[in-house]
Structure 1
Amino acid sequence: MVGVADGPVPHAVVRFAAHEAALRHAELRIVHALPLLAPADDHVRSPESAARGAAVVEGVEELVRLQYPDVTVTCALPIGHPAGMLVDLSAEAALVVLGHRGSGGFPRLPLGSVSRQVATHAHCPVVVIRPGRTAHQPHDRVVIGVDVDDVRDEALDLGYAAADRRGAHVDLVYAQDARFPPPAPVGVVPPVFGLLPPGPIEPLPEAGAGHDAACHLLHREVSRFGSRYPRVDADAHMVPGRPADVLVEWARDATLLVVGSRGLTGLRRLLLGSVSAEVLHTAECPVAVVPAPARD
C-alpha cells in the first residue's frame, strides 16, 4: 500500500512501492485520504476535495501502469485524517510506503506528522522515503540494525526477504556506544568500522564479556537466518558510536535500512523508539520500521 498526498506525484515513493509490489507479485493499493467537510460526520466530503483526490490517484496509477504494467493496481479514497486512515488500512496490508514531508533538511525538527504517526501505530512494516535524498544508484545492500538486548525476528525477516528478492547483500549492524562520550552532531560517526571475521573474535581489552556475548549473538543470527535464506550473503558488524549515527552512515548508499520499533506495552502506542525516529529524519536511503509484536 502506498499513501499519497496532494501535490506533484512523489515519483521516488511510488516507484519504490510499485517495485516492491512487483518483486512480491502482490497488488498495489494507492490510498489518498480526503478531508472531512463536517467533522461530526465521517461520510461528508466536498466535491472539490474529491475531484483533487481522484486526480492525485489517477496520476499515481498512470505512473505505475506505465513503468510496472504487470502490477495490479487498486485505489482508495477514504474520508478522514490521513494518518488514521492509513493506520486502519495497514491492518490489511503487508507493507505501507510513505514519503517524508517533514523538516526540509533540518534533521532535529519533527518528521512529517503523517509519516511519524503511521510509522508509530501501523499494524505492518512502514517504509519512509525522503524524496531527493536517496542515492541515484544505490548498492545492492540491505542494512539491518540489530539491538543485541532486544533482537527482533520480524525486522531480520523483512530485511533478509528484501535482500533475497533483490539479490542483495545483508549487513547486520550493531552499534556499541557504552564507552563513548555524549554524541557529536547528527550524521557524524567515528570512522572506525569493524567487520566481524568468520573465525574467533579477539575482544577489546576493556570490552569484557559483553563484547563476547554480542559477537556470539550476531554470528548466531547470521547463521540462523542464513539457513532460512540460503541465497543471501550476510556479514555482521560491531561498530562503535551512537546507534542512529552508525546506522545512517552504514546505510548511506544502501537499498534499504531496516530498524525495529522498540517499545513496551502501551508506550509504543505513544512514541516511536528513539533510534527508529532519528534514522527516519537523517537516513538518505528508504527506511523500513518494523513494528514490535503486540503484547498483552
Structure 2
Amino acid sequence: MTDPIAVGVDGSGRSLRALIWAAHEATLRRCPLRIIHVLPSTHSYATTDGGRAWEANSRDQRVMAEATAIAQEAHPDLEVTSALPSGSPAAVLLTEAQHARTVVLGAKGMGGFGSLLLGSVALQVVGHAACPVVIVNHVTTGHGRVVVGTDGSAHAQAALAYAFEEASLRGAQLQAVHAWSHPGPHAYVSAAQDTMAKEHVQALEEWLAPLRAEHPDVEVVEQAPDEPPVIALARASDRADLLVVGSRGLGGFHGLALGSVSHQLLQFSQCPLAVIRPQV
C-alpha cells in the first residue's frame, strides 16, 4: 500500500488550511490522504458527566465528517481514510509518521497539537518524525516557486532532494538559497571576501548538480546572499508556495533534534514550511 499524506485536524480554521494543503499534496503525489483527529484520553471522557461526554463525542465525529467531506469535494478521485485515535497528540502523530509519506499540521488551532506550534507537541513532531513534516500557517498559491535553504549538510541535502521533487510535481521554479555571512563589516568588502562569495556560489552549484541531472525539467535559480539564513529564507518565503529546510544544519549542537534556523522559520515563514531529515 502506498504511504499516505497524514494531516491532523481539530476543527479550527488553520487546521482546515492544513487539510486543503494536504489534500492537494496527496493528489499531486497520487497517494491516499489520511485525516487524523486526536481525541482526549478515555479518562477525560470518563470523568465528565454523560451529557458532556456525548457532546464532546458528537463534536469529534462532526469535525472528522466535515474534514472528510471537504477533502473529497475538492478532490473527488482522492482516496481518503480517517482515524480518531486517543492519547497524547505528539505520540499519536509520531506513530502515524512511521507509516506516512508526509505529516501535515496547521500552525495553530482550537486545541491539542495545533495550538502549540512553538510548544512541546509541535516541536516533538517536527523534531522527531520519521518522515517530512509540513507546517501550514499561510496557504499561498500562484507564485510558481519552491524555495529551499541549503548549507551542504546531510539534512540540507535531504531538503534539496525533497524540494526538487516538489518543484517537479508542481511545475514550479526552484529557488535554492545558500545564505552566509563574512566575518568583516558589511561596509568593507575586500578581495578575500569577494573570493569567499565566489566559493559559496561554487559550493551551491556543486550541491545542486546531481539533482539537476535527475530533474532536468526543473528551472533552478541560485542565490548565495551575504546575510543570516533566517532573514534570507523568511524574505524568500513571501514569494513562494513552499519553503523547504533541513531539520538542522552544520552549526549548533548535534544533540538537538531541531536546529535554530528551522526552529525560527516555524514562526517567520510566510508560506507552508517543510522540515526534512535524512532517511536512515
Alpha-carbon distance in structure 2 between the residues aligned to 1:21 and 1:82: 22
Distance 1:204 1:18 in 2: 50
Question: Given the alignment of the two structures, is residue 218 of structure 1 paired with residue 204 of structure 2, yes or no?
Answer: yes
The answer to whether the aligner puts 1:282 opposite 2:272 as a matched pair is no
Aligned position for 1:55: 62
Q: 1:221 to 1:58 in 2, by over 3 A?
A: same
Name stretches of at least 5 consecutive residues in structure 1 with no aligned partner: 103-108, 182-189, 191-202
Q: Counterparts of 1:22-33 in structure 2 under 5 Å?
A: 22-33=27-38
What is the CA-CA distance between 1:11 and the residue it aligns to? 3.1
Write 1 or 2 for the structure with the bigger share of helix: 2
Is it true that 1:87 corresponds to 2:94 in the alignment? yes
- Give the conservation status (yes or no) of the 8 Å contact 1:31–1:77: yes
Correspondence list, 1:1-296, <5 A: 1-8=6-13, 10-38=15-43, 47-101=54-108, 111-130=118-137, 133-135=138-140, 137-148=141-152, 152-179=156-183, 205-207=191-193, 210-262=196-248, 271-294=257-280
Partner Cα distance (1:280, 1:9) in 2? 14
What per-residue deviation string (whole Å, max 9, x for no partner) do you get for residues 243-268 of structure 1? 1111010121201000001179xx77
User: Percent sequence identity over matched residues?
Assistant: 35
Letter in 2 for 1:170: L
Cα deviation digits, residues 95-127 of structure 1 (max 9, x gap)? 01111018xxxxxx9725433221111110000
One-letter amino acid matched to 2:178: Y
Write the deviation string for residues 171-230 of structure 1: whole angstroms up to 9, x where unpaired.
11011124377xxxxxxxx9xxxxxxxxxxxx9623266444422221123321111111
Q: Distance in 2 between matches of 1:87 and 1:180?
A: 43
CA RMSD of aligned residues (A): 2.8
Which residue is 2:112 aligned to? Answer: none
The TM-score, its normalising length taken from structure 1, stands at 0.78
Q: Deviations over 1:68-97 (max 9, x none)?
A: 111100001111111110011100000011
Give the TM-score normalised by structure 2.
0.83
Paired residues, what number? Answer: 258
